[in-house]
Structure formats: structure tokens, C-alpha cells
Amino acid sequence: MGIKTRKVSPGIEWGIAARPSPGKVVSGDAYVVKAFANGELLAAVDGLGQGNQAATAARTAVSLLKKYAADSVVSLIKRCHRGLMMSRGAVMTLASVDLHGNMSWLGIGNVQGILLRGDPAVIPATERLRLHGGLVGYQLPKLEARKVALQQGDLLVFATDGISEDFQADVDREHSPQRIADRVLDRHFKGNDDGLVLVVRYLGGEHE
């Protein structure tokens, strides 16, 4: 994408890198970074398949997520499920972070989510989101969000399945979110599917 400006939103700094499947013009992958009154909604979405129909499903999900950003992640998945029933469906991982750093995250399908702690004293140093099988719009598993308290400097990385799963080794915490996203995409884009990497650093607020 090559966007180099620093992206900040209340409490976070973020970066995005994405590329459509080779030969395709549109991507079925999409993301959300949306502030609401008490926090921030983050999401990476992968519309099933590639091309226009996948992009339509992803766009529908993104518009619902933005419109109802303040809702819980469970209720957002349910909304998207209803909204995508006429589409090809989508997989997605959502994280809602409030002003105190309380994060609630939930993944349906195979959009990877990793939390890398900024403070070396925190154990575990890395946490991979456990994903639930399913396809939003077709079949939902039991919805249970995982709750984590973020600390200043924590880093979140979301990657769709067009990015190889071993991307973590190329996440350098010292770099800006945009630089991390660009590097992960460059090194781990599989080349047979759309790929998207969303990187968010939690900066904390004055509300601690």
C-alpha cells in the first residue's frame, strides 16, 4: 500500500498493509479501525473466495462493524452473521479495546490474531488468539470473547490467511506499526490469495 503517514487514533497507533491475490484488482480482505465513545474497534475481515463477491461480503461486514462499533464483539459477530446471509460469507477477527485497555477479542474462521506484550515482565510474552471454526453469514459457533487487559506498548497483529502463519518471527516490536505491517506482508504474502496485515500498538490513555 505504501502509505507512510503515521496513523493514530485515541489510545492507539496503527498500520495496514494489504495486497489482492495476483491478477485480481479488488481484494476480499478488509479492515476496520474505528474509534467510538469509550474505545476503539479493530477488525480484519476476509470475504470468502476472491474478487468482487468476496469484496462485497467484506464491505458489508466493514460497514456494519463501523456503524455499530461500540457494540460488544459478540453482538457484532451476530449482526454481521445476519447481514451476510445473502453473501458468500466472511471470516473475521475482532478486538474491542476500551479506554482503560480492557480488550475483548473474538475470531471466527482463520484470521490470525497475536498479542505481543510490550513489557518483558508480562507472561506469556505472546498470546495467539484461539480461533473458532465457522463462517459468518452461514454458520456460527458458540460465541465467547476472550478478555485481556492491555498495557502500554502492547502490540496486536491481525493477518488473513493470505499471509503465512509463521509471520511472527518478522514482527520487530521496535518498529512502527506501519513498518511492521509492510514487512510482514512483504515476507509472508503467500501469493495465492488476498493478504492483509493490520498492526496496532496500544499507547494507553490518561484514564489509567
Which chain residues interact with Mn ion by CB under 5 A?
A: 46, 161-162, 193
Beta bridge mates, 143: none
User: What backbone phi and psi angles, to 5 degrees, belong to 94?
Assistant: -120, 145
In 10 A of CB 164, how many CB atoms?
15
Instruction: Return the number of the residue (48 or 64) whose C-beta is nearest Mn ion.
Output: 48
Instruction: Return the number of the residue (46 or 154) whose C-beta is nearest Mn ion.
Output: 46
Instruction: Return the number of the residue (162 or 177) whose C-beta is nearest Mn ion.
Output: 162
User: CB of 6: closest distance to Mn ion in angstroms?
Assistant: 28
Nearest 5°: the CA angle 155, 161, 162 is: 100
Contact 194, 48 (CB under 8 A): no
User: CB of 44: closest distance to Mn ion in angstroms?
Assistant: 10
User: CB of 191: closest distance to Mn ion in angstroms?
Assistant: 12
Which of 147, 150, 169, 146 shows the shortest CA–CA distance to 159? Answer: 169
Q: What is the distance of C-alpha 141 from the center of its chain?
A: 19
Instruction: Return the number of the residue (161 or 182) whose C-beta is nearest Mn ion.
Output: 161
